Structure 1
Amino acid sequence: MAEASRSEKYTGPYAAQQERYYRLFGGAKAKARDFSEATGNPATLPADLIRSRETVPGGWAHALPLARGETLRVLNTHGTPGVSLLFYNAKDRSERFNAGDTVKIQWNARLSRGRVLFSDMGRVLASITDDTFGHNDALTGGSTPASNAERYGDATLRNTRNNFILLASKNGLDKRDVPPCLTLFAPVGVDGGGMFRWEGEGPKPGDHVDLRAELDLLVFVSNAPHPFAPGDYAPKEIDLVVWNSPPPSADDFCRTATEEAVRGFENNARYLAALGEE
């Protein structure tokens, strides 16, 4: 259905809000770049660019620093259905990833290559510079003891919520500092009744997502399956590869793809200038 006529089907108390939403959405979409222009990164990274490589066993978690300009490659070596991440400003951990704003500001819940991840202060924490799978979930959240009990009949299985609380406690934070997360390799959609569901096939062994740090970051990674992942609880190991990606160019896709991203990077520039880190 064309954007111009989409609102015509709405009646009732929310018709005006829905009309406004699609009008604004249509305007933002018309001004955005074509996301097929986001070309990605080399499948095989040159050894001299790799700073570190960590293997995270299935069900476990890891915290790592990521300097501005470095890129974290999450390499799904066995096709595990879901790897969850949180991002904090390393210089001020009260600033952290905001899933709701990331989706809302970009008018897009299917985060993939070319999109950026916003903080709760309107700045860009990271850019998705490559993504061989193409569907990452910022709506559902990670697994919990309750979701594991419902899905697998065992609340004691390792889960993302408890993994993040543990990492928080080791890094001067607590459970109040654990916001909704981003889960990679998770094809979650919405059915006709408005319910979340797992859609289609999951990731293949070797799929990866590259996340370039736009500020100095502290990153939490939980290698536990998405709560909607099909099959038994059997997460496999993943690799976390930190590499020295080239500096972004003036027309870097992630920085220029949408007006919203441009404003986010303008906020970054003001913040970095105040810190003397232009």
Structure 2
Amino acid sequence: MIVRDEVVAPRAPWSAILEKGQTLTIVDVDGNQAVDFLAYDADDTANAYSAQATLQEQDSVYLVTGSVLRTAESAPLLTIVATDVERHDTLGGACSKESNTLRYGFHTYSQHACAENFLAEFSRYGMGKRDQVSNINWFMNVPVDPDGALGIVDGISAPGLSVSLRAETRVLVVVSNCPQINNPCNGFDPSRARMTIHD
């Protein structure tokens, strides 16, 4: 049964609380859109998604079907139950005014970024800047070279491809439908994402 079904506009934030056992499906509606994502124990938001614990447990830097998103204490938050995309990024981070300025020049400082989207959505739950942790970038392509170098390159997604996550506890999910226009993560043209929650 569908509990919630919404299309998130390009550049916009979104959030929801998933009850244990519910599934969230994220659809790359138009193709090549990065969807920045954070997850928290909804009953104790100090227990947040930990990239370090998640990657250590699975011994891989990419998220694939079967990957479990974990807190710093290794408690499971969400499990990827299906994905149409080969892998998802855990290293690229969220864009911010500061990182845009450093990477692309001071003229980009005024551009809206994921960090601002996260802060806007956090305010709905009494959270703030200190609650922002390393994020996941669904659909974003960040290859890691043998020497450890990485870069943000053209996406490997396409219109209508999706990833589905099952809540292993009561989880707050916070999304920034990435507004980045300075690198290929969104094909230089931010587009829509669809969020569907199933019981």
Task: Indicate whether the TM-score tops 0.5.
Answer: yes
C-alpha contact 1:87 1:96 (8 A) present in aligned 2: yes
Where is the strand percentage greater, Structure 1 or Structure 2? 2
Where is the helix percentage greater, Structure 1 or Structure 2? 1
From 92, 111, 122, the equivalent of 1:168 is 122
Output the aligned Cα RMSD: 2.0
Residue equivalent to 2:190? 235
The answer as to 2:89 corresponding to 1:134 is: no
Provide the aligned length of Structure 1 versus Structure 2.
196
Q: After superposition, give the CA deviation of every residue in 1:119-174 in whole Å (9 maximum; x if it has no partner).
A: 12211000000110122111221111133343485222221111112212221111
Residue equivalent to 2:174? 220
The answer as to 2:45 corresponding to 1:97 is: no
Q: Tell me by how many angstroms 1:189 deviates.
A: 1.6
- The verdict on how the C-alpha distance between 1:151 and 1:82 changes in structure 2, with shifts beyond 3 A counting, is farther
Report the secondary structure of 2:159's partner residue.
Answer: coil
Structure 2 CA distance for aligned equivalents of residues 233 and 162 of structure 1: 19
C-alpha contact 2:155 2:187 (8 A) present in aligned 1: no
C-alpha contact 2:12 2:179 (8 A) present in aligned 1: no
Residue equivalent to 2:108? 154
C-alpha contact 2:33 2:140 (8 A) present in aligned 1: yes
From 56, 60, 65, the equivalent of 2:17 is 65
Residue equivalent to 1:111? 63
Structure 1 CA distance for aligned equivalents of residues 195 and 122 of structure 2: 19
Residue equivalent to 1:36? none
- The verdict on how the C-alpha distance between 1:53 and 1:195 changes in structure 2, with shifts beyond 3 A counting, is same
- The verdict on how the C-alpha distance between 1:136 and 1:57 changes in structure 2, with shifts beyond 3 A counting, is same
- The verdict on how the C-alpha distance between 1:183 and 1:209 changes in structure 2, with shifts beyond 3 A counting, is same
Report the secondary structure of 1:188's partner residue.
Answer: coil
Q: Tell me by how many angstroms 1:51 deviates.
A: 1.1
Q: Tell me by how many angstroms 1:232 deviates.
A: 5.9
Equivalent runs, 1:1-278 vs 2, <5 Å: 49-149=1-101, 150-151=103-104, 153-199=107-153, 201-224=155-178, 228-229=183-184, 233-244=188-199
Report the secondary structure of 1:197's partner residue.
Answer: coil
Moved more, 82-91 or 220-229: 220-229
TM-score w.r.t. length of structure 1 = 0.66
C-alpha contact 2:39 2:49 (8 A) present in aligned 1: yes
C-alpha contact 1:59 1:222 (8 A) present in aligned 2: yes
TM-score w.r.t. length of structure 2 = 0.90
Instruction: Show structure 1 runs of 5+ residues with no match.
Output: 1-48, 245-278
Moved more, 187-196 or 71-80: 187-196
C-alpha contact 1:115 1:128 (8 A) present in aligned 2: yes
How much identity, in percent, do the aligned residues show?
Answer: 27
